[in-house]
Amino acid sequence: MTSQPLRSRNWFGRQDLDGFAHRSWVKSEGFSDHVFDGRPVIGVANSWSELTNCNAHLRQVAEAVKRGVWSAGGFPLEFPTISLGEVLMKPTTMLFRNLMAMDVEECLRAYPLDAAVLLSGCDKTTPAMLMGAASADVPAIMVTGGPMLRGNWRQEELGSGTDLWRLWGERRAGRLTDEELCEAESCMSRSAGHCMVMGTASTMASMAETLGMTLPGNAAIPAPDSRRLQMAELAGRRAVEMASAGGPRPSAILTANAFDNAIRALMAIGGSTNAVIHLVALAGRVGVPLPLARFDELSRTTPFVLNVRPSGKYLMEDFFYAGGLPVVLRALLPLLDGAAPTVNGRSLADNVGDARNWNEDVIRPLGVPLAAEGGLAILHGNLCPGGAVIKVSAASPQLLTHRGRAVVFEDHADLHRRIDDPGVAIDETSVLVLKQAGPKGAPGMPEWGAAPVPARLLKKGVKDMVRISDARMSGTSYGTVVLHVAPESAVGGPLALVRDGDEIQLDVPRRTLTLEVAEAELGRRRAAWTPRPPHFSRGYGRLFLDHVLQADEGCDFDFLRGRTPVKYEDSAGPSHA
């Protein structure tokens, strides 16, 4: 049935001692001789975990994938990967994204797999799996777990994270009781799935779909919707075809044009700032140069059309009912490379050609966008020589050009200790500066960027302030928040030199971020600056600190960039002790 040799035959097709061992031990699971008849072996890489609530339903999704694999004549073998649960994992899942990518890459290489179906969901699980598959370059198709159903509290629709921050702000301002907050807690997260705003998980699912690594329409199907399982079954069937044909492999799909397409889609949907880091890291795996400037360039000519929180009004469920990502991609086709290949063997344009928009308030037509330009902007200036990112679509328009005096917090603990201290001189014109929150400084570059507005200002009705850090921000957050400042403060970037009272000028239309301090004075501060001791001296943390790249380079490890494609003879050598 196959059109080219299968890697798995080097394990299961051998008539020698190794072949005996490989088959015999797999038979211990109850499989009969039929599974060794030359059919493709499909790995179902599952990031299921009860500690990753967003992925807790992926065992069921895996069953649907396996059903598809069996029905198409393949042999599915499900295996666990490490899983990164955004909410429970400390200090941040970003510390472990590269570890998960390594896990996925090495399992794809080490096991007898002809193709893989990648099951992801929560924020970092999607880029980690894509990065691992890209480096191993095994034919792979992704199925994400889908967003939760809408939250609903007292007739009010609640979005994950986005409304959490809002309700918590109300509580701090004294307008909500603890009892009301507790009730809202249950009403916000009411089904399986990942955050159901256009946060990082929804964004990365949309990126995977635009890049061509999922079947069309995958990103927005709600987790509990039966069509999610149907799509999983179809992905399993398609993986068998890909294994038999030997492709397409990720290297054939993840081209420079595919990344441009993804950036366009990112801007059109008002996606998460985290996607900038993940796309740069993924591009690094396949040798595609992706400077931050490319994001800004494409942002300026891509309309922002998706009316979904945190940059809009609706939720992911509404996006699905409106037609989902294919509608956005179809509208964007004049700006995209429609000939880009995708995992189903068709081009991007072919996949979305029939998409219809069922709700033009959720997905605005290109001619009446929410904004003429994309949702993200890249900043440069003496405060961020390596660049910084701001989500314009989630910022306050009146703060996009702002000059104010810095109020500096030396680290996250300092921020939380003093933000509500009446002795700290802060008003609505202040610029909150947070240090030690980058890849090495925090460590792991947590989502601390949307620092809280002081309670006394919240009570006065101030909802937003300019905030600057080397941290990331949750894709569900909003506000005038400058992120990913590079180089970070922990390695002596200019952010480390900012002091209370310094004037900072943010000018988003001009794409600049300027510390208004004379270079001679900065030189004196630089000479006096000393780094803090490293967070780790051993283990994975040490590996991370020694090799993590800065935000503008995607925070990948320096030695993980590029590919080591699997080979037909990967099973060579001792396999059984």
- Residues β-bridged to residue 74: none
Residue 198 near ligand FES by CB under 6 A: no
Neighbours of 30 (CB within 10 A): 6
Q: Which of 64, 102, 118, 122 binds ligand FES (CB under 6 A)?
A: 122
Give every CB contact of residue 21 below 8 A, 6+ residues apart in sequence.
Answer: 575, 576
Q: Which of 42, 201, 315, 355 binds ligand FES (CB under 6 A)?
A: 201
Q: Which residue bears the tokens 């403060």?
A: 489
Rounded least distance, CB 316 to ligand FES, Å: 11
Span of 12-20, 192-200, 276-284, 498-506 interacting with ligand FES by CB under 6 A: 192-200
Rounded least distance, CB 522 to ligand FES, Å: 38
Q: Which of 26, 45, 54, 107 binds ligand FES (CB under 6 A)?
A: 54
Residue 355 near ligand FES by CB under 6 A: no
Sign of CA dihedral 18, 19, 22, 24: negative
Residue with smaller CB distance to ligand FES, 54 or 434: 54
Rounded least distance, CB 394 to ligand FES, Å: 16
Residue with smaller CB distance to ligand FES, 52 or 469: 52
Residue with smaller CB distance to ligand FES, 112 or 121: 121
Rounded least distance, CB 163 to ligand FES, Å: 13
How far apart are alpha carbons 424 and 418 in whole angstroms?
7
Residue with smaller CB distance to ligand FES, 404 or 479: 479
Sign of CA dihedral 287, 292, 298, 303: positive
Residue 560 near ligand FES by CB under 6 A: no
Q: Which of 123, 157, 209, 411 binds ligand FES (CB under 6 A)?
A: 123
Span of 194-202, 291-299, 328-336, 568-576 interacting with ligand FES by CB under 6 A: 194-202
Preceding omega of 248 cis (within 30 degrees of 0): yes
Among 195, 225, 199, CA closest to 321? 225
Q: Which of 40, 199, 217, 374 binds ligand FES (CB under 6 A)?
A: 199
Residue with smaller CB distance to ligand FES, 196 or 229: 196
Which three-class secondary structure state does DSSP give residue 129?
helix
Residue with smaller CB distance to ligand FES, 81 or 436: 81
Residue with smaller CB distance to ligand FES, 194 or 467: 194
Residue with smaller CB distance to ligand FES, 161 or 374: 161
Residue with smaller CB distance to ligand FES, 123 or 241: 123
Residue 87 near ligand FES by CB under 6 A: yes
Q: Which residue bears the tokens 């850090």?
A: 469
Neighbours of 567 (CB within 10 A): 11
Give every CB contact of residue 18 below 8 A, 6+ residues apart in sequence.
Answer: 11, 571, 575, 576
How far apart are alpha carbons 214 and 118 in whole angstroms?
9
Residue 490 and residue 532 in contact, taking contact as beta carbons nearer than 8 Å: yes
Among 537, 545, 443, 550, CA closest to 488? 550
Residue 279 and residue 262 in contact, taking contact as beta carbons nearer than 8 Å: yes
Among 105, 107, 50, 40, CA closest to 76? 40
Residue with smaller CB distance to ligand FES, 9 or 150: 150
Angle (CA) 205 268 322, round 5° = 70
**3-state SS string over 174-214?**
CCCCHHHHHHHHHHHCCCCCECCCCCHHHHHHHHHHHHCCE
Rounded least distance, CB 217 to ligand FES, Å: 20
- Tokens (6 digits) for 358: 């069922």
Residue with smaller CB distance to ligand FES, 119 or 549: 119
Residue with smaller CB distance to ligand FES, 266 or 468: 266
Residue 195 near ligand FES by CB under 6 A: yes
Chain centroid offset of residue 231 CA: 21
Residue 86 near ligand FES by CB under 6 A: yes
Q: Which of 194, 238, 264, 380 binds ligand FES (CB under 6 A)?
A: 194
Rounded least distance, CB 201 to ligand FES, Å: 3
Span of 5-13, 195-203, 318-326, 516-524 interacting with ligand FES by CB under 6 A: 195-203
How far apart are alpha carbons 135 and 58 in whole angstroms?
24
Go through 330-362 and write b for each residue having 16 or more CB atoms within 10 A of its CB, e for each that does not: bbbbebbbbebbbbbeebbbebbeebebeeeeb
Residue with smaller CB distance to ligand FES, 148 or 348: 148
How far apart are alpha carbons 272 and 477 in whole angstroms?
9
Positions in 127-156 near ligand FES (CB under 6 A): none
Residue 486 and residue 550 in contact, taking contact as beta carbons nearer than 8 Å: yes
Rounded least distance, CB 281 to ligand FES, Å: 18
Rounded least distance, CB 73 to ligand FES, Å: 35
Residue 84 near ligand FES by CB under 6 A: no
Rounded least distance, CB 388 to ligand FES, Å: 24
Residue 413 and residue 387 in contact, taking contact as beta carbons nearer than 8 Å: no
497: left (phi > 0), else alpha (psi -120 to 50), else beta? alpha
The secondary structure of residue 542, as a DSSP letter, is: H
Rounded least distance, CB 304 to ligand FES, Å: 22
How far apart are alpha carbons 373 and 366 in whole angstroms?
11
Residue with smaller CB distance to ligand FES, 201 or 315: 201
Rounded least distance, CB 20 to ligand FES, Å: 44
Rounded least distance, CB 541 to ligand FES, Å: 23
Neighbours of 249 (CB within 10 A): 21
Rounded least distance, CB 195 to ligand FES, Å: 3
Rounded least distance, CB 85 to ligand FES, Å: 7
Number of residues near ligand FES (by CB under 6 A): 10
Residues that bind ligand FES (CB under 6 A): 54, 86-87, 122-123, 160, 194-195, 199, 201
